[in-house]
Amino acid sequence: MCVVLFLLTIMLCCPARIPMFLYPFLSSSHNTRPFEYLRLTSLGVIGALVKTDDPEVVPYLLQAENSEIIPLCLKIMEIGTELSKTVAVFIIQKILSDEKGLTYMCSTYDRFTHVANVLVRYFVVAPWGFLINASVGSIFYVSFTVAGEDD
């Protein structure tokens, strides 16, 4: 977490491929406290990266070799604690708010339906204000793009 506290070091995370080293912590399905802390810290690093609004971050996270971030966040939205779910939804929302991220999410039917189904299912069961706002925002980005493609 100390690495992502400063803008200069945040910008060096992608070229150093730091997020790839965090994916194993995100992919764990164990819900014990130590695993949850690792998951949350790893999400925090990726959340700090997408929060910078650097135009190179989202394309880096979506590269073919690194494209695990979306499925991992969707999985965390289903199995994580409230805080992990909040950060995972934030990451999804930031990726969807980027044009390249939105294009990636909507590029195949399977990817689009999986993301949309998890967001809608999550919207229905999310009792927390921020998560509802983030879910609605994410659903809006996806539906707006799909509606634009129908024209």
| pLDDT tens digits, one per residue of 24-53 | 888 888 888 899 999 999 999 899 888 887
Q: What are phi and psi of 100, to 5 degrees?
A: -70, -35
**pLDDT the model gives residue 65:** 62
Predicted local distance difference test score (pLDDT) of residue 134: 58
Who's near 119: CB < 8 A, 6+ residues apart? 92, 135, 138, 139, 142
- Predicted pLDDT of residue 40: 92
Average pLDDT, the chain: 78
Let me know: does 95 contact 88? Beta carbons within 8 Å: no
Q: State percent of the chain over pLDDT 70.
A: 68
Predicted TM-score (pTM) of this structure = 0.78
Higher pLDDT among residues 138 and 99, named by residue: 99
pLDDT higher than 70, residue 127: no
For residue 125, pLDDT over 90 is answered with no
Outline where the chain has alpha helix (H): 7-13, 18-27, 33-51, 57-61, 69-79, 82-97, 99-105, 109-125, 129-150
Q: Say whether pLDDT at 108 is over 90.
A: no
Give whichever of 68-82, 105-119, 127-141 has the largest mean pLDDT. Answer: 68-82
* CA atoms lying within 13 Å on the CB side of residue 117: 8
Q: Are 70 and 105 in contact (CB under 8 A)?
A: yes
pLDDT score of 142 more than 70: no
58 to 73, 103, 140: CA distances (angstroms):
14, 11, 19
